[in-house]
Structure 1
Amino acid sequence: MFAFTHRSAARWLQGAVVSVACVSSSMVTAMYPALADAADYPVRPVKLISPWAAGGANDIFCRALAQKLTESMGQPVVVENRPGAAGTIGSDMAAKAPADGYTLVMGSSPTHSIAPGLYPKLPYDPLRDFTPVTLAAVVPNILVVHPSLPIHSVQELIAYAQAHPGKLNFSSTGNGSSQHLFGELFKYLTKTDLVHVPYKGTAPALNDLLANNVQMAFENPPALLPHIQAGRLRALAVAGSKRSASLPDLPTVAEAGVPGYDVSVWFGVFAPAGTPRPIIDRLNREFQSALASPDIKTRMDGFGAEIVGQGPDGFDAYLRAEIPKWASIIKAANVKID
């Protein structure tokens, strides 16, 4: 009797321990589903939204990084182009997506720094509705003109524009884009009358620039470099604070005689607000690793991009400084949406 009772008790105790373990696991999953999901992340494809048309710098960066993450994460990272309204349409889609790490967006200066000061009814808040993942790269736009113009320097451009007010057109990838704001700041600081012509992406803007339907642009290096090297466009200056590694002999706009002109485009990855921190940290590690790979670095150097790879907290601080800077530029230059 004693042996039977002992074995029965042992079986009962073993079952009780298993039951408690199962209940505890179920309670953790029920109470903290995000943590349970984060432990297995990712279990299905991840979507990376490029809020610009295919062929531009944002799209190029997205596809290069998506390929690396697909290899390292074991799940496809799929780029989805959602262009429109200077990147705000695609960004808004990402802001309203589930906060589970399966929808990301490649934000940039127009979508997260410029838009708050430009759009009175922006459908998202860059700080409240997103969680920063990584500041990927900073790219100084390049000021170019069509080679048919008798212009070989920034000072010659200013003199020509002042002698022919309203006769020079500059292209952009849309109202509120970096190209638009860079041109407006140039107009303000040089007191020139230039006409803004917005397009629905880099490809149509570049086509008209090459055809001399517009005469100048402040465009991202990836789209411009082949045409500069082939002589189809003439580069005058770099918009940022330092010269580009891809065009080391080209002065900055400030060096060329426009003091105070210092603007660049940044590119960074965001997830919807509320995405669990373990998922954010995993994504940050994956993007940091991709950005550090030799082939990505070589490719970005060729595009004139400076890889940053800043983490979530540093990226958040950077963004909080960028928003008021652009708001002051927009106000000073009296920029309005065309």
Structure 2
Amino acid sequence: MQVNKIRLTRRAALTVAAGLAAPAVAQAQSFPSKPLRIIVPYTPGGTTDIATRLIAEPLGRALGQPVIVENRAGANSIVGAGAAATSPADGYTLVTVLPAHAANATLQAGKLPFDVINSFSPVSLMVTSPLVAAGSKHIQATTLRGYLDYAKERPGQVNFGSSGIGATAHLAMEQLAILTGVRMTHVPYRGTQPALQDLMAGHISIMFDTISSFRAQFEAETIRPLAIATAARSSFMPNLPTVGEAAGIAPFDASTWCMLLAPARTPQPIVDRLSEEVGKIVREPAMTRRLEEIGFVVEGRTPAATGQFLAEEVQRWGNVIRTANITVD
């Protein structure tokens, strides 16, 4: 009698599970039946917006439905990410996030209207873009080691800039300072361009940002390229030493990135379909060339690999934020 009860219990559990799974399977089979939207939590024209729009059009063709890009800027990506987190988990609303999303887990701990990891289903790490250290020509040093030595001799007196508190460019420099024992003063700006203007004017001495942000000034020789934050030298600038080489430290790798997320509990078949299509798009030769021209490294990672990468970034930048005692207040 007891054996029969166990069998019935297991059978009932399987029946319930099948009943719960059936709507998700049906939903995935009919997907997509209407236009999709990708929220970009920043203003138009930035790195996230450019990468998203490049991928949105071919994604729409692959899915047979328009993919609309919606800019919802505010609070260092929190407004747009929050809108995505509270949208129906049906695959029709996605969001592209930058490393600020990972940093917010620590910078805004206890204040966010969502969980940086658990409120989302990872879809794809679409592209990355390695950071480059650039120096003001108002400093006589010509190498990254020279700039760091200059700053070390003047604790707290040398300024470095970034596009804002919690940006990868900010946190990467803080991590480099921790590793080299250098103490500099952070000057946050509202975006890369005003920081770059002050770098050229000599108001700040050094900063990290992407190759695409610096390219025109490197060519005009108004700022000095110092090092690239990759483990090995990059094909983008093969003559530029790595940060590890130039600073005399272990390999130092820091990139900005564009990651596609869906609301948590989006059916996995839909997530897998979206991830597969994005991977095909970024690896298509013409698209790869276009992205590389801008300064992106093609990724197109799976949902599992994307989720792992996000968790690692949350931990990495959280450690830097706590060690450097960074706050947004």
Q: Does TM, scored on the shorter chain, surpass 0.5?
A: yes
Are 2:324 and 1:330 aligned?
A: no
TM-score for the superposition, normalised by structure 2: 0.84
Q: How much does 1:32 deviate?
A: 4.7
Contact 1:170 1:217 in 2 (8 A): yes
In structure 1, what is the Cα distance between the partners aligned to 2:61 and 2:127?
21
Contact 2:137 2:200 in 1 (8 A): no
Aligned match of 1:249: 239
Report matched runs for 1:230-269 at 5 Å. Answer: 230-260=220-250, 261-269=252-260
Are 2:270 and 1:279 aligned?
A: yes
Larger Rg over CA atoms: 1
Query: Where does structure 2 lack aligned partners over 5 or more consecutive residues?
Result: 1-17
In structure 1, what is the Cα distance between the partners aligned to 2:199 and 2:19?
57
In structure 1, what is the Cα distance between the partners aligned to 2:73 and 2:225?
27
Aligned match of 1:25: none
Aligned match of 1:21: none
Aligned match of 1:198: 188
What CA deviation, in whole Å up to 9, does each residue of 1:112-137 have, x standing for no partner? 3x222332223321221000111222
Contact 2:174 2:320 in 1 (8 A): no
3-state DSSP class of the match of 1:255?
helix
Q: How much does 1:315 deviate?
A: 1.7
Aligned match of 1:119: 108
What CA deviation, in whole Å up to 9, does each residue of 1:218-271 have, x standing for no partner? 112222223222323221011232222211111111111241433333322110
3-state DSSP class of the match of 1:85?
coil
Contact 1:189 1:258 in 2 (8 A): no
Report matched runs for 1:152-191 at 5 Å. Answer: 152-191=142-181
CA RMSD of aligned residues (A): 2.5
Aligned match of 1:294: 285
3-state DSSP class of the match of 2:160?
strand
In structure 1, what is the Cα distance between the partners aligned to 2:20 and 2:324?
53
TM-score for the superposition, normalised by structure 1: 0.82
Aligned match of 1:270: 261
Query: Residues 299 and 146 of structure 1: is their aligned pair in 2 closer, same or farther, counting only changes over 3 Å?
Result: farther
Residue type matched to 1:314 in 2?
Answer: A
Aligned match of 2:37: 47
Residue type matched to 1:327 in 2?
Answer: G
Residue type matched to 2:49 in 1?
Answer: D
Count of residue pairs brought into register by the alignment: 310
Aligned match of 1:313: 304
Contact 1:57 1:222 in 2 (8 A): no
Report matched runs for 1:61-140 at 5 Å. Answer: 61-112=51-102, 114-121=103-110, 122-140=112-130
Q: How much does 1:97 deviate?
A: 1.6
Aligned match of 1:18: none
The percent identity for this pair of structures is 36
In structure 1, what is the Cα distance between the partners aligned to 2:219 and 2:271?
40
3-state DSSP class of the match of 1:240?
coil
Report matched runs for 1:205-216 at 5 Å. Answer: 205-216=195-206
3-state DSSP class of the match of 2:133?
strand
Query: Residues 204 and 176 of structure 1: is their aligned pair in 2 closer, same or farther, counting only changes over 3 Å?
Result: same
In structure 2, what is the Cα distance between the partners aligned to 1:103 and 1:210?
41
Q: How much does 1:169 deviate?
A: 2.5
Query: Residues 30 and 253 of structure 1: is their aligned pair in 2 closer, same or farther, counting only changes over 3 Å?
Result: closer
Query: Where does structure 1 lack aligned partners over 5 or more consecutive residues?
Result: 1-27
Moved over 6 A (4+): 28-31
In structure 2, what is the Cα distance between the partners aligned to 1:301 and 1:101?
28
